[in-house]
DNA sequence: CTTTCATGAGAACATAACGAGAACATCTAT
DNA sequence: ATAGATGTTCTCGTTATGTTCTCATGAAAG
């Protein structure tokens, strides 16, 4: 019953099920499942059975394992953090036909020292396309240029996301992007700039 | 030649917690935390345990250490494009600390097999907060659920981003998010679904 | 009929992951 | 220079998870 010569990449039904579960778990959770989680997903009581399927998938080169707790790695699924930028939509062509494929790495674009993420609550920047629940990337800074969108702390109490302007010396104007709200002006010493908006991200389920 | 370099950058749950706490602390306090501060932040009694996690993070190249009192330094490695999610920003309140201090990796959130990026041209989805020039992440798919936002190709010519509905059999309705534009209905055979919207990103200069 | 294979249950054991805490070394403030 | 604070290195546990077995059932093939 020892088969070191595995010529067949054919998977049995349950092996397919196992691989499928691992793949979907991976894309959803961004980590490998436990054996018991696979078992539950497949309706199997015994983790020993799952272990057999996982070992088969390893023999057939569909996965690699570390002897660790969530040690399954998909061989076709190494961490992909680069996406192809295919082109501009509404270009009048099928997407696949666009040739100029450059690669885009959001983490590289948005990551970096002195940056952090805040989740937006409310609708004060809705006309800028920044909606309730969106994630914004902020670069830590204490100064800003006019017309930048910044995180401002007013009187040490009021942290909001607003566009900033400097209409005259020692005066700061904070402008929401919402017609139902009004721009306000403060003396410079009342407004502390916390950071500058560098990116915005929304994730759809 | 095969690269046998084992990049076990996989972090355990508590190692992630530890890294998350360190990065959050760093961005807030502008200095590294003490082991006892990490311990308190994670609800651990023993600084020896924390030391073990910190050593693991050093082994896995997420940090470097000096043998000094606040000697942890975050490494700026491309593998570590994680940003701390600090809190929610709300009108009229200070930034709320987020209970679950988590790290955000946009590439992991948005990346994955069968995904690509398009740049949006035009304003047809402006009321969804998708503006001209924004980047959208599309997951390749040929089917969609009702009310999802999809990339549709009409008569093989017109690739656009629209919300989709199926009002009756063999009819597809494509709905822009712009009051100045109208929803249109097509027979099923004229519309080819190219993919489903899974994310949206904007980068500010 | 027997053999083989895919499937499943479950026991027994090995190891990983996590945590507490002691003892000691080293750093740092005074 | 000294004392307290902080970092390092251990040992000792507990629980969770992975690994290796044996046994059992049913279907398909010879």
Nearest to B146 by CA among B134, B163, B129: B163
pLDDT value for A96: 46
Residues 55 through 74 of chain B touching chain A, CB cutoff 8 Å: 74
Distance (Å, whole) CA A164 – CA A148: 6
pLDDT at B118: 82
Q: How many CB atoms lie within 10 A of CB A100?
A: 8
**Which listed residue (B124, B142, B169, B184) is catalytic?**
B124
Residue A73 reports pLDDT greater than 70:
yes
> What are the phi and psi torsion angles at B202 (to 5°)?
-130, 140
Tokens linked to B194: 């190219």
User: Does the CB of A11 sit below 7 A from strand C?
Assistant: no
Q: What is the pLDDT of residue B16?
A: 92
pLDDT at B66: 87
Nearest Cα residue to B10 out of A113, A75, A79, A63: A79
| pLDDT value at residue A91 | 38
Task: Please spell the DSSP secondary structure of B158-177, one letter per residue.
Answer: EEEEEEEE--STTEEEEE-S
Token pair 């919300």 is found at: B163
pLDDT at residue A48, rounded to an integer: 97
**How does DSSP classify residue B32?**
P
C-alpha span between A36 and A51 (Å, rounded): 10
What lies within 8 Å, CB to CB, of A10 at 6+ separation is none
**C-alpha pair distances (Å), B175 with each of A88, A109, B122, B155:** 19, 31, 15, 17
Question: ipTM surpassing 0.95, yes or no?
Answer: no
Return the pLDDT at B4. 27
**What mean pLDDT, rounded, does chain A reach?**
82
Inter-residue contact B136 to B121 (CB < 8 Å): no
Whether pLDDT at A5 is above 80: no
Q: Which residues of A touch B82 (CB under 8 A)?
A: 107, 111
Candidate from A35-44, A48-57, B106-115 with smallest mean pLDDT: B106-115
Is there a contact between A137 and A149 (Cβ–Cβ < 8 Å)? no
CB atoms within 10 A of CB B131: 17
pLDDT digits (tens, 9 = 90+) for A101-157: 556 666 666 666 678 888 888 888 999 999 998 988 888 888 999 999 998 888 877
Domains of chain B: 13-104 (1.10.10.10), 112-201 (2.10.109.10)
Tens digits of per-residue pLDDT, B121-144?
Answer: 888 889 999 998 888 888 888 899
Q: For chain B, say whether A122 makes contact (Cβ under 8 Å).
A: yes
Residue B83 contacts A, CB cutoff 8 Å: yes
Mind telling me how many Å the CA of B81 is from chain A's nearest CA? 5
The answer to whether the Cβ–Cβ distance between A153 and B197 falls below 8 Å is: no
Closest of B177, B169, B72, B163 to residue B123, by C-alpha:
B177
pLDDT of residue A170: 92
Kindly report the backbone phi and psi dihedral angles of residue B164, in degrees, each rounded to the nearest multiple of 5, phi listed first.
-115, 145
B169, B165, A28, B201: which is closest to B193 by C-alpha? B165
Determine whether the interchain pair B89/A118 forms a contact, defined as Cβ–Cβ distance below 8 Å: yes
**Tell me, what's the pLDDT at A3?**
37
Low-confidence residues in chain B, pLDDT < 70 = 1-9, 76-84, 86-87, 90-103, 107-109, 111-113, 158
Contact B110, A106 (CB under 8 A): yes
Mean pLDDT of A29-50: 95
Rounded to the nearest 5 percent, the helix, strand and coil shares of chain B are: 25, 35, 40
B176 in reach of chain A (CB within 8 A): no
Query: Would you list the DSSP string of A127-152?
Result: GGT--TT-EEEEEE-S---TT-EEEE
What gap in Å lies between CA A96 and CA A94, rounded to an integer? 5
């Amino acid at each position: 019953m020892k088969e070191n010569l595995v010529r067949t990449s054919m998977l049995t039904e349950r092996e397919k099920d196992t691989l499928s579960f691992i793949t979907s778990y991976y894309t959803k959770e961004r980590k490998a499942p436990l054996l018991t989680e696979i078992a539950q997903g497949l309706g199997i009581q015994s983790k020993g059975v799952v272990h057999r399927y996982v070992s088969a998938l390893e023999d057939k080169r569909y996965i690699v394992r570390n002897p660790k707790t969530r040690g399954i790695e998909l061989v076709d699924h190494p961490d992909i953090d680069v996406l192809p930028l295919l082109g501009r939509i509404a270009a009048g062509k099928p997407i696949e036909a666009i040739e100029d494929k450059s690669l885009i790495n959001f983490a590289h674009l948005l990551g970096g020292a002195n940056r952090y993420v805040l989740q937006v609550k409310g609708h004060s920047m809705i006309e800028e396309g920044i909606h309730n629940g969106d994630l914004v990337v902020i670069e830590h800074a204490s100064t800003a240029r006019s017309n930048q969108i910044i995180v401002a702390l007013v009187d040490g109490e009021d942290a909001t996301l607003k566009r900033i302007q400097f209409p005259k010396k020692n005066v700061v104007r904070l402008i929401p992007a919402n017609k139902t709200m009004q721009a306000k002006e403060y003396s410079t010493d009342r407004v502390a700039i916390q950071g500058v908006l560098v990116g915005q991200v929304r994730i759809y389920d």
